[in-house]
Structure 1
Amino acid sequence: MSPSYPFPKDWSLPLEPPAEYKRLRQEAPVCPVRLWDGNTPWLVSRYNDVLTVLGDPRLVVDSTLPGFPHLSPAAAARQGRPLAFFLRPDAEYRVQRAMLVQEFMPRRMEALRPRIQATVDAALDAMLAGPKPADLMAAFALPVALQVIGDLLGVPHDGADDLHVLSRTVGSRASSREEARAALMALDDFFLRLVEANLREPGDTLIGRVVTEQVATGRLSPPDAASLFHSLYYAGHGPSAYMFGLGTLALLIHPEQLGKFRELEDPAAITAAVQELLRFVNVSHLARQRVATVDVTVGGQLIRAGEGILAQPDSANRDGTVFEEPDRLDLHREAHRNFAFGHGIHLCTGRALALIEFEVVFKTLFQRIPTLRLAVPLEEVRFKKDENLLGVHELPLTW
């Protein structure tokens, strides 16, 4: 019988992917696995095969197709509602992505760096003025991530915590279809009201500009716009906040690498170090889903049209045929492409913004608090074990 997916993780080694991936890369790099609903997609674990899957236009992200591998009841609950733009058929996805390209151009994101720096500094000021130990997630990581994406999109900060709770319900593998559907409805309704408000009085924000250029002109319906903005908000705060936490944890438990990071001054070297953190940690620890539209061969395995595929990013990021000593965090590692932001046409739309956030957060955090350290033993840190993103509930720190 095919093994159940996701695979169990050794939580005594919380930043390590499941050990089963290493065996599969060597013995069965393309193998069937069983999901919660009995579906048996193909799991792809090697770097080059993942690269092939994510770059092949015949393997699509279309959650409306029967063979699409839904990873949880909550994920399946999206069916019947306006779909997130990255889960739509490729033709629709490309149209909606094109509406956002100018908004997320690297030069435009770089212009936001001073504002992001000010947000990070203010959050650190507040954390340093508060009690010790401090929970990095509640006192810093989540507030920064919510404010950065909220300012960009034009989402009011009042109620942001409630939006995060709803997003976590949608992103939890423990949520039922009913719970996830109710959370999706609440999120879509909130963003639909924002669309309607910007139709009446457009703001100088991403939402305001897209509503003016696309919704008011009839190119995008209000419900589709609401789903688009909900998707951007969801993807724009959770992964960033979780990475702030796990990246900080990774540096703290690798003090020799933290010392090297503190010495970095060259912007390119800082970017490369952040990319290595993303390779090593990779909060997006569940597979990228695809479905074959024709018969294809991946890694020597025939995959029939209509069959689902799971391309495993954290396994690929630890492939020893691509990365020397792949299980070692090495901030001076020569740059290699990792799969933290995906690949191909579904490469993360907001990757330029996310990289700037990570660079500013990690550099500022360890420059301003040189004595930062864990306030509890590593084994007492509580990890989120049932979400689509890898993260911690709290990260108690002192200094």
Structure 2
Amino acid sequence: MTDSYPLPKNWSCPLDPPAEYERLRRDAPVTRVRVWDGSTPWLITRYDDACHALGDPRLSLDFRLPGFPHTSPSSAARLESVLPFSFRSDSEHRAQRAMIMQEFSPRRMEVLRPRIQRIADEALDAMLAGPRPADLMGAFALPVSIRVICELLGVSQDDCEYLHGLSCTVGSRDSPKDAAGRALKELDGYFERLVAENVRNPSDTVVGRVVAEHVRKGTLSEQDAAAMFQMLFHAGHGPSAYMIIMGTLALLLDPDQRGELRAIADDPTQLSAAIQELLRYVTVSHSGRQRVATEDLVIGGQLIRAGEGVLVQTDSANRDETVFPDPDRLDIHRTPQRNLALGHGIHLCTGRALALIELEVVFPTLLRRIPTLRLAVPVEDIPFKRNDNVLGAYEMPVTW
């Protein structure tokens, strides 16, 4: 039993998961942990066990099931609103996911690459024209990620800051349940209004096309559609922005790897592998993937009973030394790449293709246009988001 979850992290090495995970992978790869409400779900830390858990249909992401492991008050607050499809039964999840997946297919996302390139260049133009040092989070990472998803969904740019603030409240483990609940209601209300507008007059956006194809035909309710788009907004900008920030930090702290990435930026195959390595090494989704057992099953030699909660620790799995030699070293030439940063199994990230293209655009663009980019403060002075579900920073001062 580990008394407290999340496990303590050494913030002087912000890119490394808690050191205790290495011991757990070796000595207790499936062990109990105590979370905020006193419950004791199982924590899975090894790569192979994580793949098993994320791919096993007997472990459900249905928030409504007894024993589901809510890792914070804000997680529990979701039960009081309409749940997005990812947090429902597998059958509901599959049905609604199918309605949206064609919008996020690799082919459709590839068409967006030139637009994402322009968005990145425009953000850098503005940052380079401004004062130094600059905040890479506020001037580049967040504007790029939020603009991309807002244009896709048809969300007004004027509303982005307001919606981002609500998402931050929902994503913080420090948020009381009532505050997270209020933020969720405001998000729900915003996207309900957006759906209603598109019912009256469908736009040429993801929201407009899904509304025309499913809401107006009666196969998806307006409330379920709003929950779907709220989730896509939340997951489609925050993790991307924090991956840009923390991935850039990893490259700034490792000049050799930064130079290697710059050298292979024009080779699509090598660049794709490099982005996968950054995802493995950084793994911004550092809160355990929540599941609950619907039947008895065995993982890693441990019997897990029906009704017991499970947390799959993907940042630990991505540093598993039995799968990734020298796992604490960033190596953009590492092959093969089998990281779990964007999930695994039926809950593989809906926007995976979009996320990969964003990162394939952003990192080479940043390194090409600002080759002398460097931190403007010591790592210890960067204000990291220490109690959020996603690893990130409030700001990251840089200069050049």
**1:302 matched residue in structure 2:** 303
Deviation readout 1:212-232 (Å, 9 max, x if unpaired): 111111111111111110000
- Rounded Cα–Cα distance in structure 2 between residues aligned with 1:209 and 1:40: 43
Counterpart CA distance in 2 for 1:111 and 1:19 is 41
Q: How many Å separate the matches in 1 of 2:336 and 2:268?
A: 14
Length-normalised TM-score, structure 1: 0.99
Partner residue in 2 for 1:347:
348
The offset of 1:10, in angstroms, is 0.5
Q: 185-194 or 87-96, which moves further after superposition? A: 87-96
Cα deviation for residue 335 of structure 1 reads 2.7
Name the CA distance, whole Å, in 2 between partners of 1:65 and 1:38: 17
User: 1:359 is paired with a residue of what secondary structure?
Assistant: helix
User: Deviations for 1:349-396, whole angstroms, at most 9, x for unmatched residues?
Assistant: 100000000010000000011111111111111100111100011110
Q: Do the aligned residues in 1 keep the contact of 2:86 with 2:347 (CA within 8 Å)?
A: yes
Secondary structure of 1:329 counterpart: coil
Kindly provide the CA deviation profile for residues 122-155 of structure 1, in whole angstroms up to 9, marking residues without a partner as x: 0100000001100001111111111100111111
Question: What is aligned with 1:31?
Answer: 31
CA distance in 2, matches of 1:249, 1:93: 35
Corresponding position of 1:263: 263
Partners of 2:336 and 2:351 lie apart in 1 by 20
Alignment of 1:4-15 (within 5 A): 4-15=4-15
Counterpart residue identity of residue 270, structure 2: A
Note if 1:192 corresponds to 2:192.
yes
Partner of 1:65: 65
Aligned residue runs from structure 1 range 160-175, under 5 A? 160-175=160-175
How far residue 2 of structure 1 moved from its aligned partner, in angstroms, is 3.9
* Other-structure match for 2:391: 390
Equivalent residue runs for 1:209-288 within 5 Å: 209-264=209-264, 265-288=266-289
For the residues of structure 1 that align with 2:199 and 2:172, how far apart are their CA atoms? 33
Q: Give the Cα separation in 2 of the matches to 1:370 and 1:31.
A: 45
Correspondence for 1:86: 86
> Where does structure 1 differ by over 2 angstroms across 4 or more consecutive aligned residues?
none
Are the aligned partners of 2:80 and 2:181 in contact in 1 as well (CA < 8 Å)?
no
In structure 1, the partner of 2:151 is: 151
Q: Is the 8 A contact 2:257 2:332 kept in 1?
A: yes
Amino acid paired to 2:178:
E
Amino acid at match of 1:222: E
* 1:80 positional shift: 2.4
Question: Which sections of structure 2, spanning at least 5 residues, go unmatched?
Answer: none
SS at match of 1:57: coil
1:105 & 1:237 partners in 2: Cα distance? 18
2:16 corresponds in structure 1 to 16
CA distance in 1, matches of 2:257, 2:336: 16
Match of 1:141 in 2: 141
Give the AA of the match of 2:189: D
Residue 363, structure 1, aligned to residue 364, structure 2:
yes
Q: Percent identity?
A: 63
Q: Secondary structure at the match of 1:78?
A: helix
Deviations 1:70-90 (A, max 9, x none): 010011001121012211111
The separation in 2 between residues aligned to 1:295 and 1:219, in whole angstroms, is: 34
Q: Following the alignment from structure 1 to structure 2, what is the Cα–Cα distance between the partners of residues 335 and 134? A: 36
How many angstroms apart in 1 are the aligned matches of 2:198 and 2:11?
46
Whether 1:178 aligns to 2:178 is yes
What one-letter code is carried by the residue in structure 2 that aligns with 1:214? H
In structure 1, C-alpha distance between the alignment counterparts of 2:2 and 2:268, rounded to whole Å: 46
TM norm structure 2: 0.99
SS in 2 for 1:165: helix
Cα separation, 1, equivalents of 2:102 and 2:279: 25
Per-residue CA distance 1:146-171 (angstroms, 9 max, x = gap): 11001111111112011000000000
Is 2:5 the partner of 1:40? Answer: no
Q: What is the deviation of 1:186?
A: 0.3
The Cα offsets for residues 185-209 of structure 1, whole Å up to 9 and x where unpaired, read as 0000000000010011110000000
Task: Write out per-residue CA displacement over residues 86-127 of structure 1, whole angstroms, 9 at most, x where no aligned residue.
Answer: 111111111110001111110100000000000001010000
The aligned amino acid for 1:9 is K
Distance 2:313 2:387 in 1: 17
2:104–2:354 Cα contact (<8 Å) kept: yes
SS at match of 1:397: strand
Root mean square deviation of aligned Cα:
0.7
